[in-house]
Amino acid sequence: MTKKIKVGVLGATGNVGQRFVQALSDHPWFELTALGASSRSAGKAYADAADWKLGREIPKSVADIEVSEINPKYIDADVVFSALPADLAKTTEPEFAKEGFVVASNAAAMRMEKDVPLTIPEVNPDHLALIDIQKKNRKWDGCIITNPNCSTIVMAMTLKPLEQFGLRNVNVATMQAISGAGYNGVYAMAIYDNVVPYIGGEEEKMETEILKIFGKFDGTKVKCADFKVSASCHRVPVIDGHTEAFWVDMEKNPTPEEVKNAFKTFDPKLSDLPTEPEFPIIVCEGPDRPQPRLDREMGGGMSVSVGRIREGIRYVALGHNTIRGAAGASVLNVELMHKKGYI
């Protein structure tokens, strides 16, 4: 590739926004040219506006970029990655799409719109065809593509290799990291020495988004899958990494060994996208794995780890919620769009 694609980040100072900046600052295909944030940050150098949380220095290539207001006329980019809260995303993202931007959104606002792809490249790349329908329906020069909720992504990555066995019922209990609520989302006194057995809207997202992701695209629309999902979501005192325990009922009743082999041989063939991990699913052999502290950084945070595969079928999965479950997933979507000629 000779000329890089100009990209920006909306909500660049927040937790997921910082992950976007980290992923894009030295990307081989993309040039990070614009950073958008609230009015209190606009006009400042990014290094002054962002209270950097990632444990490493702000990348030098972006430290001096002046933060812009979140407005299409101030953002110099062809693609924008949105880390905006859902209420702001609902109005702002369409404004950017109307003005010709490709909007790659991590927000929930547009995920379930019928003409908006809810995409995981390893799972449903054919849903990108909704982009052409979206542009026609809405008379946009640009478009919006979304990635799922962080816990849904981990679930979908593990269910895709099992789809061959005929999915019928999926029960999942999550143990979700506090970073999933944003930097100020869970007060220390609320989570320390505690488990919070409720995350607002999370169970509904897991139970509905997965059916769109596994739905069949018929050339005009996606018909949602008809297997059943029941989720129970919990916040635990872990910084990064969502752990999920599954009970999966399948038509062909595979053995644990067949399930393990399906995970090990899962190869979505994405054509060497820069953010694509070498192994999308990593099978942990130990009886007490995966664990967030040991396994969340696998594949640069883009691999999903699985273990404890037992009769039933029962297993445990783990994914890095702000990389695989957020910024990294969105970057991978845009890489696939470029590879497929949508950008």
Domain ranges across the chain: 5-149+326-339, 150-320
Catalytic residue among 150, 233, 284, 320: 150
Active site (annotated) includes residue 127: no
Of the candidates 146, 152, 201, the residue with the CA atom closest to the CA atom of residue 174: 152
pTM to 2 decimal places: 0.95
CATH of 5-149+326-339, one of 2.40.160.20, 3.40.50.20, 3.30.300.30, 3.40.50.720: 3.40.50.720
Q: State how far the Cα of 127 lies from the Cα of 332, in Å rounded to an integer.
A: 14
- Answer whether residue 170 shows pLDDT above 80: yes
| Per-residue pLDDT tens over the stretch 248-294 | 999 999 999 999 999 999 999 887 899 999 999 999 999 999 999 99
Distance between terminal CA atoms of the chain?
Answer: 13
- Answer whether residue 152 shows pLDDT above 80: yes
Residue type, 329: A
- Answer whether residue 21 shows pLDDT above 70: yes
Q: State how far the Cα of 294 lies from the Cα of 256, in Å rounded to an integer.
A: 23
- Least confident range from 52-61, 116-125, 294-303, 309-318: namely 52-61
Residue 196 carries which DSSP code? Answer: B
**Cis-peptide, bond into residue 290, ω within 30° of zero:** yes
Contact between 107 and 80 under an 8 Å Cβ cutoff? The reply is no
- Answer whether residue 22 shows pLDDT above 80: yes
Q: Mean pLDDT, to the nearest integer, of 57-82?
A: 94
Q: What is the mean pLDDT of the chain?
A: 95
Give the model's pLDDT for residue 2.
67
Q: State how far the Cα of 50 lies from the Cα of 207, in Å rounded to an integer.
A: 34
- CATH says 150-320 is which class? alpha beta
Give the model's pLDDT for residue 84.
95
Q: State how far the Cα of 42 lies from the Cα of 10, in Å rounded to an integer.
A: 12
- Answer whether residue 56 shows pLDDT above 80: no
Active site (annotated) includes residue 150: yes
Contact between 150 and 209 under an 8 Å Cβ cutoff? The reply is no
Percent pLDDT > 70 in the chain is 99
Catalytic residue among 143, 233, 242, 320: 242
| Per-residue pLDDT tens over the stretch 202-239 | 999 999 999 999 999 999 999 999 999 999 999 999 99
State whether residue 284 is helix, strand or coil: coil
